[in-house]
Amino acid sequence: MTQYKEITLTASPFDPEIIAGIVWKYNPQGVEETENGLKIFAGIEDELTLEILHTEFEALKSNNLISDFELTEIIRDTKNWNKEWEDNREIIKVGKRFVIRPSFKDYTPESGEIALTIDPKMSFGTGEHATTRLVMEMLEEIVKGGERVLDVGTGTGILAIAAVKLGAASAVGVDNDDWCLENGIENITQNGVADTVKILTGELKDIPAEKFDIVLANIQKDVLIQLAGEFGAYIKPDGFLVLSGILTGDEEDIINKYSSLGYSLHKTIYMDEWICIAMKN
């Protein structure tokens, strides 16, 4: 019987964009997002090895992008790993109203619940990671109905979809990862919001200069600092800028940076070692 490698990676902090980007360079057969890391599947003869990953993540640690990591490997007899991945995917409840399910699991929403169908493919944003959950909880508070929303670093498109499901009039999701275009379009279609959510490939500067009521950015701290001076061109007066992908230890740096640009703090919410900050323009 043929075999495959199942590599478990945990990292602190777990930044899906950085970590997944490294893993996908080596063409794994599949990746499953866990609470603080990844489960990676690869063939025995595939280029992806424990040694390669160890070298890559030691480099991240040396550059202070992560503080610690752990890698373990199990050799398993070949199964339909995709079916195993599907079997392990759970239906997730987020915030007060959201329920997130993969397309291959049935769920009947209870009264008041908003069910989202999200298949991640090679993009991230399944609702399992704290940063996604935090932004969805913040959206439950600030979306009142009729808003235009911009989601920077949209991944699966989950946050743009969530905003429209809460009552926003429209949303634009943008990501510089080409995989996110295909995956995002698939997700907006299966959630019935293709007429109100638009997915684009590119960066913030590629978005035509127009004003949004809410701008979301669930990305790492250094990019939030880098883009701080650019967000203002896209936010209406008195609009919201919702920032996540931020560790609790970076809260002061982010608030100080954005306060210096004229933003005022609306609210901060916390989950584990992560935070979400809502600023007002």
- Residue 78: closest CA among 45, 102, 121: 45
Q: Which of 86, 110, 135 finishes a domain?
A: 86
CATH number of the domain within which 14 lies: 3.30.70
What span, in angstroms and rounded, lies between the C-alpha atoms of 35 and 249?
19
Give 249: exposed, middle or buried? Use CB within 10 Å, 0-12, 13-18, 19+: exposed
Phi-psi region of 153 (alpha: psi -120 to 50; beta: other; left: phi over 0): left
- Residue 62 inside a domain? The answer is yes
Q: Do residues 205 and 81 both lie within one domain?
A: no
Q: Do residues 136 and 202 both lie within one domain?
A: yes
Q: Give 244-260 pLDDT, tens digit per residue.
A: 989 899 999 999 999 99
Backbone dihedral angles phi then psi of residue 25, each to the nearest 5 degrees: -60, -25
- Residue 192 inside a domain? The answer is yes
What pLDDT sits at residue 104? 82
Q: Do residues 267 and 197 both lie within one domain?
A: yes
Please give the single-letter amino acid code of residue 43.
G
Evaluate whether 212 touches 149 at the Cβ level (below 8 Å).
yes
What pLDDT sits at residue 215? 98
- Residue 98 inside a domain? The answer is no
- Residue 132 inside a domain? The answer is yes
Q: Do residues 199 and 271 both lie within one domain?
A: yes
Q: Do residues 128 and 259 both lie within one domain?
A: yes
Q: Do residues 168 and 267 both lie within one domain?
A: yes
Domain that holds residue 32: 3-86
- Residue 211 inside a domain? The answer is yes
CATH number of the domain within which 146 lies: 3.40.50.150
Q: Do residues 77 and 135 both lie within one domain?
A: no
Walk across the sheet containing 114-117 and list its strands: 92-94, 98-101, 114-117
What span, in angstroms and rounded, lies between the C-alpha atoms of 94 and 159?
12
Q: Do residues 76 and 147 both lie within one domain?
A: no
If you ran DSSP here, which 8-state letter would residue 13 be given? S
What pLDDT sits at residue 64? 87
Sort strands 212-218 and 235-247 into parallel, antiparallel or unpaired: parallel
Q: Do residues 129 and 263 both lie within one domain?
A: yes
If you ran DSSP here, which 8-state letter would residue 110 be given? P
Q: Do residues 221 and 152 both lie within one domain?
A: yes
Compute the Cα dihedral for 243, 244, 246, 247 and give only its sign: positive
- Residue 268 inside a domain? The answer is yes
- At 75, list the tokens: 């050799």
Q: Where are the alpha helices (DSSP H) in 13-157?
A: 16-24, 50-62, 81-88, 130-142
What pLDDT sits at residue 1? 44
Q: Which residues of the chain have pLDDT under 50?
A: 1
Neighbour count for residue 230 (Cβ, 10 Å): 13
Q: Give 24-59 pLDDT, tens digit per residue.
A: 888 887 777 777 788 888 888 888 899 999 999 999
- Residue 105 inside a domain? The answer is no
- Residue 212 inside a domain? The answer is yes
Is 158 in a helix, a strand, or coil?
helix
Q: Do residues 265 and 167 both lie within one domain?
A: yes
Q: Do residues 143 and 66 both lie within one domain?
A: no
Quote the number of domains for the chain: 2
Q: Which of 35, 57, 86 finishes a domain?
A: 86
Q: How many residues does the chain have?
A: 281
The radius of gyration computed from the CA coordinates of the chain, to the nearest angstrom, equals 19
